Chains A and B, each alone.
Chain A
Amino acid sequence: MYPIENSSDLIKNKRKHLFSREMWVGVGINVFFLGLTSLLTDISSEMVTATLPLYLLLTLRLAPLQFGLIDGLNQGASVLVRVASGLIADRWRRAKEVATAGYAFSAICRIGLLLVGRNWLALSGVVLLDRIGKGIRTSPRDSMIAASVSSEKLGTAFGVHRAMDTAGAMLGPLVAAGFLALAPGSYDVVFIVSFCFAIVGVAVIGLLVESPAASPTAATDSPSVSSRTVVQLLARPNFRALVLISSALALTTLSDNFIFLTFQRRFTFSLSLFPLLYVGVALVYMVFAIPVGRLADRLGKQYIFVAGYGILAVVYGLLLLPGLPQALGWGILLLQGLYYAATDGVLAALASAILPEQWRTTGLAIMTTGTGLARLFASLGYGALWTYLGPNQALGIFLLGLFITVLLAWVFLSRVERHTANEIVE
């Protein structure tokens, strides 16, 4: 006979279990809630991203050149605030508050879009503010994910988060399309609904997410955080190596737009199918983010990370290969999604593992600033190579660059692991 437990105790235990670290693929409810915030926020922001050009063109009748400029602001703005928000979050140990402020910033922008009307300057201002919000929130949020799980589950935790994040990015355009089908041409409805999603996202992180408790070791050696922290962090060989490697890899990474443009040139198909390519890649990324994250925890994050870029090199190679049948061409999308699953969240996990907890937000901010800038240069460089040498030559040069960088990364990152091991022994 089994002892019959008090039923209310049983429910209590069950509830305890629901909110414990073991639930949700073993990463805990906090990571789930952080993922939910990103999911809701991405639905909100992708609803706007997918419809803003049409709104500008069809409702406000702004010329395409003018929204080209707004697009440009999208790219660079968030870099500026990343490190500052990291320092503030670390210094006052307020990762959650800083991240919530970042999400709130972007939520307000949804309403702002409707209020500014056709005023181009104000419109650019709103888009800029939205990007600043994104710059503010990313590193503190990733740092909270890292602090919510034990170090051997970092890969899985970031996998869970990125899977939910990507799900939101895929749902956003669908939700927008649904509302536009219901009320054609009513972009105000899209923006209001997008605002609602964003507000619920802010409420999830502000009210449901718990500030992860600092581990005792972090409390004892707590060094002060100042602008010198950036220098001190970069003086740590492991971290410096990771920043250099991830930036070098980003420097040879083509943006999705370029990959898809090349893809479209190789396998001529209608430009109106373009959004499907994004959906295809995102779907693969979403499905594989968690399993690949788990694999990274088991086999070593650095190996999966470098292997991800190896997959990207295969993508470049396939795009260059003459006479590739169309059926195999779709395999390129699968590989591109796998590349994302193996690199995006895994890099954040890798960095979180080697960064000291009290400086983690600043460290993550430095790293994403490095990779963000490198990616921007990569796009500019690729655009120039494409124009002056031709598309195949440009891709060939990037393939060569990526191949060399992957080899170097493999050598350096195996050393990083030995270093980390030594540090633990010390």
Chain B
Amino acid sequence: MKSSNSRQGRRKIFVWIVLGCVALAVGYTSRVLLRANAETIHAQVEAQAQGQVTPLSIAEQRELEAIQNQPHLVFLHQEVPDYGKLTLASLDPVLSKSVQTMFRCDRVYYAAGNGICLLYDTSTAPIGHLAPIPVEVMLFGSDLKPRHQFTVEGTPSRARISPDGKYAAFTVFVTGHSYGDANLSTATILLDTATGKNLGNLEEFETWKDGRLFQAPDFNFWGVTFARDSNRFYATLQHGNAIYLVQGDIAARKLTVLHEGIECPALSPDETRIAFKKRAPSIIPGMMPNWQLTVLDLTTMKETELAEKDSVDDQVEWLDNNHILYQKDDPDPSKWPSIFVVPADGTGQPEVLIPSATSPAVVR
């Protein structure tokens, strides 16, 4: 009799626990639904995709235009809740004025009145850890409003605009998450900024090596950098374990292999040097390689290792002909990456230029 009593008692407790859990689930969910009007990152991203970025105040707008009329830096703020907010800062003197906008990106680049923004599309993020997340690709102007946009699947990686603003290029990982992954697959796509037209994946271009057509199904391209004559560009080609520097011709839809071992090239403003990350393979297969920032002199073909000795996985940006900017993760994973500056001739020391920021673009 006693055991059946205690069994009944336990059933009663069980019912109360179930009721409590239902109340918690319903209560918490409705509380979140009621705060739906509040400023959530998600709501902003959706608004941005529809071209409705929260406007700046009149004073901020004036400040923004003042910065845009002189040499300035464009970068992305990193700390939550301002994660990914596009920020403009004056260059002379550095950071004397800055304005944070409500426009968000995961990778950005800007040149000659044209910008490209890669943004994870959180509104349609799928369930399941193996499915790629959709990425919004947006081409925008100085008013920070998207002019052309479309969705690709993958992980945002690199973005560039040609110095005259005519072309844009971007790279996403289709599979894999880093340039060290064994099963990496990338897509690098060229765009016409005026029309938003897709000019093709670099894998569709003809590749030439030592005067012969060079083809393989495992080709991966990434890291486009444009020359001042915007028809010419440079990029990285991976075939098997080999990494090549290729020179591209947009009009001829042609790529030529120039040199081996150059990854994520960035052409200097005077077009005499290429800064890149030099890969030192890791001893253990499957581990991330180590990348040393290096500058290649295009006339002497001499390589100079820069003073930054930590591994850097970024396509760098030239601040001027003597300094480069790049983003580097903090060794503490709970801290945000920052933008560093280092002399381009191997001297000096790396210094933090902008803490908790990524994706620098120098606009002159």
Cβ-based interface call for B129 (8 A): yes
Q: Are B128 and A278 in contact (CB under 8 A)?
A: yes
Q: Are B83 and A271 in contact (CB under 8 A)?
A: no
Cβ-based interface call for B153 (8 A): yes
Q: Are A64 and B129 in contact (CB under 8 A)?
A: no
Cβ-based interface call for B21 (8 A): yes
Minimum C-beta distance from A391 to chain B (A)? 10
Q: B-side interface residues toward A, CB under 8 Å?
A: 10-11, 13-14, 17-18, 21-22, 24-25, 28-29, 32-33, 36, 40-42, 78, 80, 83, 120, 122-123, 125-133, 153, 155, 174-175, 177-178, 182, 285-286, 288, 329, 333-334, 336
Cβ-based interface call for A345 (8 A): no
Cβ-based interface call for A58 (8 A): yes
Q: Are B130 and A204 in contact (CB under 8 A)?
A: no
Q: Which of A55-78 contact B (CB under 8 A)?
A: 57-66, 68
Q: Are A275 and B130 in contact (CB under 8 A)?
A: yes
Cβ-based interface call for A10 (8 A): no
Q: Are B178 and A64 in contact (CB under 8 A)?
A: yes
Q: Are A275 and B127 in contact (CB under 8 A)?
A: yes
A50-B80 contact in complex given A208-B10, A272-B132, C-beta closer than 8 Å: no
A196-B29 contact in complex given A57-B120, A207-B10, A272-B126, C-beta closer than 8 Å: no
Question: How many angstroms between the C-alpha atoms of A196 and B174 in the bound complex?
Answer: 36
Cβ-based interface call for A51 (8 A): yes
> Which 10 residue pairs spanning A and B have beta carbons closest together?
A275-B128, A185-B42, A64-B177, A196-B21, A120-B333, A274-B130, A207-B10, A203-B17, A207-B14, A196-B25
Q: Are A275 and B126 in contact (CB under 8 A)?
A: yes
Q: Are B129 and A49 in contact (CB under 8 A)?
A: yes
Cβ-based interface call for A394 (8 A): no
Q: Which residues of B contact A186 (CB under 8 A)?
A: 32, 40, 42
Q: A-side interface residues toward B, CB under 8 Å?
A: 49-54, 57-66, 68, 118-121, 173, 176-177, 179-180, 182-186, 188-189, 192-193, 195-197, 199-200, 203-204, 207-208, 257, 260, 270-275, 278, 383-384, 387
Q: Are B333 and A275 in contact (CB under 8 A)?
A: no
Interface of A is mostly: helix
Q: Are B125 and A58 in contact (CB under 8 A)?
A: yes
Q: Which residues of A contact B133 (CB under 8 A)?
A: 54, 57-58
Q: Are A203 and B32 in contact (CB under 8 A)?
A: no
Minimum C-beta distance from A416 to chain B (A)? 38
A65-B21 contact in complex given A185-B41, A189-B28, A272-B131, C-beta closer than 8 Å: no
- From the candidates B25, B36, B42, name the one contacting A193 in the complex (CB within 8 A): B25
A383-B25 contact in complex given A173-B128, A208-B11, C-beta closer than 8 Å: no
Can you report 17 residue pairs joining A to B where beta carbons are below 8 Å apart?
A53-B129, A54-B125, A59-B80, A62-B333, A121-B334, A177-B127, A184-B122, A185-B41, A186-B32, A186-B40, A188-B32, A200-B17, A200-B21, A203-B14, A207-B10, A270-B153, A272-B153
Which of the listed residues B13, B129, B285 has the most CB atoms from chain A within 10 Å of its own CB? B129
Q: Are A196 and B127 in contact (CB under 8 A)?
A: no
Minimum C-beta distance from B64 to chain A (A)? 25
Q: Which residues of A contact B40 (CB under 8 A)?
A: 185-186
Closest to B329 in A: A63
Q: Which residues of A contact B83 (CB under 8 A)?
A: 61
Q: Which residues of A contact B155 (CB under 8 A)?
A: 64
Q: Which residues of B contact A199 (CB under 8 A)?
A: 17, 21
Q: Are B80 and A60 in contact (CB under 8 A)?
A: yes
Q: Are B29 and A179 in contact (CB under 8 A)?
A: yes
Closest to A60 in B: B80
Q: Are A61 and B130 in contact (CB under 8 A)?
A: no
Closest to B130 in A: A274
Question: How many angstroms between the C-alpha atoms of A350 and B154 in the bound complex?
Answer: 45
Closest to A54 in B: B125
Question: How many angstroms between the C-alpha atoms of A61 and B333 in the bound complex?
Answer: 10
A50-B120 contact in complex given A196-B21, A203-B17, A204-B14, C-beta closer than 8 Å: no
Minimum C-beta distance from A87 to chain B (A)? 28
- From the candidates A54, A65, A176, name the one contacting B177 in the complex (CB within 8 A): A65
Q: Which residues of B contact A275 (CB under 8 A)?
A: 126-128, 130-131
Q: Which residues of B contact A63 (CB under 8 A)?
A: 177, 329, 333
Q: Which residues of A contact B32 (CB under 8 A)?
A: 183, 186, 188-189
Question: How many angstroms between the C-alpha atoms of A53 and B125 in the bound complex?
Answer: 11
- From the candidates B14, B129, B288, name the one contacting A65 in the complex (CB within 8 A): B288
Question: How many angstroms between the C-alpha atoms of A195 and B28 in the bound complex?
Answer: 12
Q: Are A68 and B177 in contact (CB under 8 A)?
A: yes
Question: How many angstroms between the C-alpha atoms of A188 and B31 in the bound complex?
Answer: 11
Question: How many angstroms between the C-alpha atoms of A411 and B155 in the bound complex?
Answer: 50
Closest to B183 in A: A261
Minimum C-beta distance from B298 to chain A (A)? 33
Question: How many angstroms between the C-alpha atoms of A203 and B40 in the bound complex?
Answer: 35
Closest to B333 in A: A120
Q: Are A173 and B22 in contact (CB under 8 A)?
A: no
Q: Are A196 and B177 in contact (CB under 8 A)?
A: no
Q: Which residues of B contact A176 (CB under 8 A)?
A: 127
Q: Which residues of B contact A173 (CB under 8 A)?
A: 127-128
Question: How many angstroms between the C-alpha atoms of A96 and B14 in the bound complex?
Answer: 16
Question: How many angstroms between the C-alpha atoms of A207 and B126 in the bound complex?
Answer: 37
Minimum C-beta distance from A61 to chain B (A)? 6
Closest to B285 in A: A387
Minimum C-beta distance from A102 to chain B (A)? 18
- From the candidates A53, A57, A177, A207, name the one contacting B13 in the complex (CB within 8 A): A207
Q: Which residues of A contact B21 (CB under 8 A)?
A: 196-197, 199-200
Closest to B20 in A: A199
Q: Which residues of A contact B128 (CB under 8 A)?
A: 50, 173, 274-275, 278
Q: Which residues of B contact A49 (CB under 8 A)?
A: 129
Closest to A117 in B: B334
Minimum C-beta distance from A353 to chain B (A)? 30
Q: Which residues of B contact A119 (CB under 8 A)?
A: 334
Q: Which residues of B contact A66 (CB under 8 A)?
A: 333
